[in-house]
């Protein structure tokens, strides 16, 4: 009898492990009855993240000019780190000693790391991509280095992020021809090498990436293949790199239509406010982008009507808050004129204040999206948001078409 009981207990434990194959649980809370938008809880080892979510980018493990405690105060639950930069400095050995990036940067919540491949292609002149991996010259000392799928995962295992990305063969989104298909197939082969290399599968999720350039059939084929690997979530890559917006939204839509409903979908490198609204409507759950923090440093601040370029002289006597409706600490304490003067005089703190506002704006935009999905008013919210950006109703054609493709008609 005892043997049978133990056997049953063993099988039950195995079932639980099978059911919880990944350290990620995805609970869809509400779906938009018109579009593909949905709001969910994504349970990760270090945090429960509400989606759709915008993930600020902390390249070196910090967001320039903002502390982890400031990010916590904005209720940010997940940050993105760049494997390429972190692998160079502080490097995996020091991260192992520190007990991972969470401890090294004193951030208790969730982290996602990219694979390092995109930086190679975007930052470095000397890149040769072979079946083995990506060859590049170190910008630190010029040595020739090779980033393989195995090495990318080794560094990401040291970083210890809740979600790691596979190393993919990145081609520019405007590339056409056989190279796009080659990259898609290589990305699948590298995915299997990444999965095999993951030393911490019960602690760290590994997301595959849908590639295929601007070719809908390649994207479909790639999405269908990666689903067979049954990972914790899936990413859509290779977009937001200079392609036409009319092609961009179609590739997003074709990718989300193949990816399963019960797993998170991460649209890489997308974060302009309008794109967040439209791509949430198309069924994406996760986004990241350097633009809100990068443009903040140049004095561009985000508001519902678009952007304020606070370096312009028209703001030098403007006593208004950046945004009357904003609850961020910058809007609570500073006027447009004050920020204008600080930016003009190159005060370091101005970058920090502007970055806090922009990140708060994006995180709050996602909160509004989630609340409207829950209350069944997302289509109305999306329309109101787009009209706020284009009061003359001269909407960009891509935006009209993208929303119409999921049943949302902008007012004429």
Condensed to tens digits (0 to 9), the pLDDT of residues 368-393 reads 999 999 999 999 999 999 999 999 99
Check: CB of residue 167 under 8 Å from CB of residue 133: yes
pLDDT at res. 138:
76
Distance CA 326, CA 56 (A): 18
Return the axis-axis angle of helices 378-389 and 348-374, rounded to nearest 10°: 140
DSSP code, position 411: P
pLDDT of residue 122: 67
ω before 90 within 30° of 0 (cis)? yes
At 116 the pLDDT is 82
Q: What are the C-alpha distances in Å from 236 to residues 72, 100, 196, 403, 412?
A: 27, 27, 21, 19, 32
Q: How far apart are alpha carbons 382 and 387 in whole angstroms?
A: 9
Q: What are phi and psi of 25, to 5 degrees?
A: -125, 135
Q: Which of 317, 208, 312 is nearest to 263 (CA)?
A: 208
Please give the Cα distance from 374 to 251 (Å, whole number): 26
**Per-state percent for the chain, helix, strand, coil, to nearest 5:** 45, 15, 40
Beta strand segments in 126-278, E: 127-129, 134-137, 144-147, 163-165, 205-207, 209-210, 234-236, 265-267
Amino acid 401: pLDDT:
98
CA distance 57 to 371: 24
Please spell the DSSP secondary structure of 37-86, one letter per residue: -EEEEEEETTEEEEESEEEEB-TTSSBTTB-HHHHHHTT--EEEE-HHHH
Residues 6+ apart with CB under 8 A from 262: 26, 28
Rounded CA separation 346/205 (Å): 41
**Phi and psi torsions of 3, nearest 5°:** -60, -45
Q: What pLDDT, on a 0 to 100 scale, did the predictor assign at position 14?
A: 47
SS3 category, 311: coil
Q: What is the dihedral of CA 387, 393, 394, 395, to 10 degrees?
A: 40
pLDDT of amino acid 58? 83
pLDDT of residue 16: 46
- pLDDT < 70: residue spans in the chain: 1-20, 59-62, 120-126
Give catalytic residue positions: 114, 288
């Amino acid at each position: 009898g005892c043997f049978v009981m133990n056997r049953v207990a063993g099988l039950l434990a195995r079932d639980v492990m099978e059911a919880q194959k990944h350290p990620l649980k995805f609970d869809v809370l509400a779906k938009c009855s018109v579009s593909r938008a949905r709001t969910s809880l994504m349970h990760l080892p270090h945090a429960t993240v509400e989606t759709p979510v915008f993930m600020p980018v902390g390249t070196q493990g910090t967001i320039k000019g903002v502390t982890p405690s400031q990010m916590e105060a904005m209720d940010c639950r997940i940050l993105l780190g760049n494997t390429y930069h972190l692998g160079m400095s502080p490097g995996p050995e020091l991260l192992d000693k520190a007990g991972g990036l969470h401890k090294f940067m004193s951030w208790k919540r969730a982290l996602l790391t990219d694979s390092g491949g995109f930086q190679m292609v975007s930052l470095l002149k000397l890149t040769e991509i072979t079946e083995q991996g990506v060859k590049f010259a170190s910008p630190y000392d010029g040595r020739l280095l090779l980033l393989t799928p195995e090495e990318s995962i080794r560094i990401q295992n040291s970083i210890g992020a809740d979600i790691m990305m596979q190393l993919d063969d990145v081609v520019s989104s405007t590339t056409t021809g056989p190279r796009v298909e080659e990259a898609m197939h290589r990305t699948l082969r590298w995915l299997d090498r990444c999965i095999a290399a993951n030393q911490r599968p019960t602690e760290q999720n590994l997301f595959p990436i849908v590639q295929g350039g601007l070719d809908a059939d390649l994207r479909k084929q790639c999405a269908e293949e990666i689903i067979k690997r049954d990972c914790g979530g899936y990413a859509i890559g290779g977009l937001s790199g200079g392609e036409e917006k009319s092609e961009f939204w179609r590739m997003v839509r074709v990718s989300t239509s193949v990816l399963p409903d019960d797993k998170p979908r991460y649209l890489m490198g997308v974060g302009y406010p309008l794109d967040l609204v439209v791509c949430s409507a198309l069924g994406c759950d996760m986004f990241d982008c350097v633009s809100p923090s990068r443009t903040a440093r140049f004095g561009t601040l985000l508001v519902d009507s678009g952007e304020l370029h606070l370096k312009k002289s028209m703001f030098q006597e403007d006593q208004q808050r950046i945004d009357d409706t904003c609850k961020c600490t910058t809007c609570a304490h500073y006027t447009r004129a004050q920020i204008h003067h600080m930016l003009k005089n190159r005060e370091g703190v101005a970058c920090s204040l502007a970055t806090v506002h922009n990140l708060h704006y994006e995180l709050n935009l996602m909160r509004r999206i989630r609340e409207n999905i829950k209350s069944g008013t997302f289509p109305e919210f999306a329309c109101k948001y787009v009209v706020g950006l284009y009061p003359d109703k001269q909407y960009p054609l891509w935006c009209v078409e993208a929303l119409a493709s999921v049943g949302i008609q902008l007012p004429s």
